[in-house]
Amino acid sequence: MTIHYLIHLANYSDGVLYLMIAIMTVALAVIIDRFWYLRRTLLQGNGLVERLGVCQEASRAQLKALAASHPDLPEAVLLDVAIAHIGITNGEQLANRLDEATLRLAPTLDKRLWMLDTIVTLAPLLGLFGTIIGMFHAFSVLSVPGHKATAVTGGIADALVATASGLFVAMTGLLAFNALNNKVRGVLHQLDIVKVMLLNRLDGAPVVSASKADAPTKARPMPAALLD
C-alpha cells in the first residue's frame, strides 16, 4: 500500500478520510493528556492517602505539610478546607464543606472526555458517509460506455475503506473512554477516602469561636493541572 494509493482512497471519499485522520489525531491527544494526568493523580493520591492514614489525629501543621507536599492534587483542596475550618466547624458542617469542594472538583476531572464521547459516535457515521460518496463514484462508472465490471467492484472496495476507518477510530476511542472514566471514578473514590479520613481525625476537635480561632488559611486556587 503506497502513499499514492492512500491519497487515492482519501480523494475517493471526497476528503472524508482526511477528516477521519484529523479526529483520530484529536482523540489520541485527549487520550494521552488525560491518561498521563489521571494516572499521575492516582499514584500520588495513593501516597497521600497512606501518609494521612498513619496519622491518628490531624493537626493544622500536619495537614499544611501534607498539602504542601502535593499542591497539584485535587486532594489538596480538601486538605485546605479542613485546615481553614479546624477549631471552627466539625462533624456534619465540615462534611458538608468537604462535599462542596468535591462537587466543585468533579467536573474538572473528566474535562475533554466529552470529545472522546463525541468522536466515538461521530466516527462510524462519518465513515458511512464517506462510503456512500465512494459508492456514487463507483457506480458512476456504469454511465461510461465500455466500462469494465472490475472498475465497479474495485470502486466499492475502495469506498468501504472509509467505513472500516470510522469503525477503527470509534473502537479505539470507546476503549480509551471507558478506561479513562474508570480512572476518574478512582480519583473520586480517593477524594471520598480523604474526606472520611479527615472527618475521623478531626472528630472531637474542640470548636472555639471564630474570634479566638486562628485566622482561616487562604483558600487554595484550583490546581493548575485541573484548569488546563
Residues 145-170 have pLDDT tens digits of 655 656 666 667 777 888 899 999 99
* Contact (Cβ atoms closer than 8 angstroms) between residue 84 and residue 217: yes
Query: What mean pLDDT, rounded, does the chain reach?
Result: 81
The answer to whether residue 33 scores a pLDDT higher than 50 is yes
Q: How far, in Å, CA of 95 to CA of 195, rounded?
A: 7
In 3D space, the residue among 4, 3, 20 whose CA is nearest the CA of residue 161 turns out to be 20
Q: pTM above the 0.85 mark? A: no
Provide the pLDDT for residue 179.
95
- In our burial notation (b when 16+ CB lie closer than 10 A, e otherwise), range 10-33 reads bebbbebbebbeebbebbeebbee
Provide the pLDDT for residue 132.
87
The answer to whether residue 139 scores a pLDDT higher than 90 is no
Q: How far, in Å, CA of 171 to CA of 68, rounded?
A: 41
